[in-house]
A = this chain, B = another copy of it.
Amino acid sequence: MVYLMDKIKEVMEKIGALDQESMRLARERQDTLTKPQRSLGILEDLSVKVAGITGNFMPEVKDKVIITMAGDHGAAVSAYPQEVTPQMVYNFLRGGAGINVLARHIGARVVVVDMGVAADIEPHQNLVVKKIAYGTANMTGGPAMSYEDAKKSIEAGIEVLESEIEKGVDIVGTGDMGIGNTTPSSAVVSFMTGQEVEKVTGRGTGLDDEGLERKMGVIKRALEVNKPNREDAIDILAKIGGFEIGGMAGVMLAAASRKIPVVIDGFISGAAALIAYDLKPMVKDYLIASHLSVESGHRAILDYIGLEPLFDLKMRLGEGTGAAIAMGIVEASCKILQEMATFEEAGVAEKEGKG
């Protein structure tokens, strides 16, 4: 078990500061391109951020990967039955889900990971099996998982990212699937950001008022019963988290350690980002927030970490769907940096005076 801790630690220690020189060169180049300086706004900033992450002042975003992690939850409060988790995993593997459509649209591959679905999934070439258990335990009666399993889930995420690197990864997006996984996510968000349960608990896939009440009750009970240690993110993950949440945190840490930008999706990815950020605050510099989810509590996550979402399309599907759209925008930003002509190349006159 020392080995496991070492693996997470090792990855954490490899995460360094952004490459300031690459960022300076990227900004300098942006300022020579045939457009008024800064007129592409956040598109320019994104390209500079990716330059800093990758250490390349003209980074290429070609190999795009969405890692969609699935898990089940012992304390799920959802409008859908738990059997939907494996059914949706099959849907992912057949290419029929929202994330498949959007990933194809931007030319990304989808890697589906069974982190802890409460059913066996038939083997498939696009399925990575990292099953920690058949769903978490009910966190209203004790921890959702053991401390060891929490570490294992993060480590599994690290392994998934690292084995994808062999196939090529210029940018990675995180996504989730797990009926009821807004329940542990809201618990994690409330506990870690200090916001009231009422403020960060939403309707998930579409709970009615009674369901929402029940969900908040479950979260409060889980927090009371487990009393997580605020100084130990792995303890928090173990007591009130989920396997896919730990897995995505592992993906984020591993990507940051390998200088790969990570586009985070919505609320569940955000809960994972909180865990990763708590373990290693510098991971923040490697994260790109895609959208602002409809799920209440998502804003609290982004504010806590200090990230601004690129857009708000009132989405709340998860799976990595917001990340996929954002990834297309990040790729565009890097193409601007690479492909646009400079004033000199195009023979275009520059701004008059300093006006």
Q: Which residues of A contact B (CB under 8 A)?
A: 33-37, 39-43, 79-81, 83-84, 87-88, 90-91, 94, 96-98, 100-102, 104-105, 205-208, 210-211, 294, 310-317, 321, 325, 328-329, 331-332, 335-336, 339-341, 345-352, 354-355
Contact A314 B91 (CB under 8 A): no
The 4 A-B residue pairs whose C-beta atoms are closest, nearest first, are A96-B341, A41-B314, A36-B205, A311-B311
- B332:A102 contact, CB within 8 angstroms: yes
Contact B335 A87 (CB under 8 A): no
Q: A84-B348, A94-B341, A340-B101 are in contact. Are A36 and B315 (CB under 8 A)?
A: no
> How far in angstroms is the closest Cβ of chain B from A293?
9
This chain: copies in complex: 2
Q: Which residues of B contact A345 (CB under 8 A)?
A: 96
Chain B's closest residue to A205 (CB) is: B36
Q: Are B348 and A315 in contact (CB under 8 A)?
A: no
Q: Once the chains bind, are A313 and B41 in contact (CB under 8 Å)? A: yes
Interface pair A339/B35, CB less than 8 Å apart:
no
Q: Is the CB of A83 within 8 A of B317?
A: no
Q: How far is the CA of A88 from the CA of B205 in the complex (A)?
A: 49
Is there an interface contact between A91 and B34, defined as CB atoms closer than 8 Å?
yes
Query: What CA separation (Å) do A40 and B294 show in the bound complex?
Result: 10
Q: Assess whether A81 is in contact with B349, with CB atoms less than 8 Å apart.
A: yes
10 contacts between A and B (CB under 8 A): A34-B98, A36-B317, A39-B316, A42-B315, A43-B315, A87-B346, A91-B341, A206-B355, A208-B355, A328-B328
* Closest CB in chain B relative to A339 CB, distance in Å: 5
Q: Are B317 and A206 in contact (CB under 8 A)?
A: no
> How far, in Å, is A82 (CB) from chain B's closest CB?
9
